[in-house]
Structure 1
Amino acid sequence: MVRYLILRTLIFVGCLAATWLIGLRDREDQLLAVVIAAVASLVISAFVLKPFREQASAAIAGRVDERVERKREKAARSDEAAEDAETDLDPAGRDGRSKGDESDSDFR
């Protein structure tokens, strides 16, 4: 992302220098030079920096995916811990039968 920002800034500075070279040097022309440089750098950046923008976007998406995955793992661990704690508190087990109570019935 930093590389993209630096390249975009360099393109703007280059466009601003180009406007200065074509004659927009006077005090009253400075605002016009900045606007022209901004628009030109926007157009140039859209085409020239597309691979860098996609790479930065993929890196950000990867970090977001990793963060979401860590949150899911943390939630799963806390759910397992809560489930284990619940099982430890219930001596009859999950289905309500005591541990020694085995039934020949197929219905549970």
Structure 2
Amino acid sequence: MLRYTLMRLGIFVGCLVVVWALVYSGVAPRGLGDSNGMWVVLLALLVSAPISFVVLRRERDRASERIVQRVDRMKSGLEASRNQEDAVVDGTTGAPGRTS
């Protein structure tokens, strides 16, 4: 996940440099009044989003698979803990068996 985040940040920084160069060279509009810095950042975000969506598709899929595996491990651990707790409660109370 960290790798994907750093790659996406790298694409944004690259777009930021390119947009900044285009704005200060006069190719792209400079914005309104004192909003030039915000204008450059917004343009860079607008340009970098579709680029990272296409370029980082494989890395995004790998990251999501790892997240799904981590969530599945956590769910199975919680289920095992719940079953162990039920077994302890059933053993101490003498109940014939609990159904959930």
Query: What TM-score, normalized to structure 2?
Result: 0.76
**One of 71, 75, 78 as aligned partner of 1:68:** 75
| Partners of 1:16 and 1:42 in 2: CA distance | 12
What is the match of residue 40 of structure 1?
47
Long gaps (5+) in structure 2: 25-29
Q: Per chain length, whose mean CA-contact separation is higher, i.e. which structure has more relative contact order (CA < 8 Å, sep 6+)? A: 2
What is the match of residue 27 of structure 2?
none
Measured against aligned partners, the alpha-carbon deviations of 1:61-88 in whole angstroms (never above 9, x if no partner) come to 111111110111011111111222233x
Question: Relative to structure 2, which stretch is displaced further, 44-53 or 77-86?
Answer: 77-86
RMSD between aligned residues: 1.9
Q: How many residues align?
A: 88
Higher percent of residues as helix: 2
| Partners of 2:39 and 2:89 in 1: CA distance | 65
The amino acid of 2:9's aligned partner reads T
Query: What TM-score, normalized to structure 1?
Result: 0.71
What is the match of residue 19 of structure 1?
19
Tell which structure's C-alpha radius of gyration is larger: 1
Q: Sequence identity, in percent? A: 30
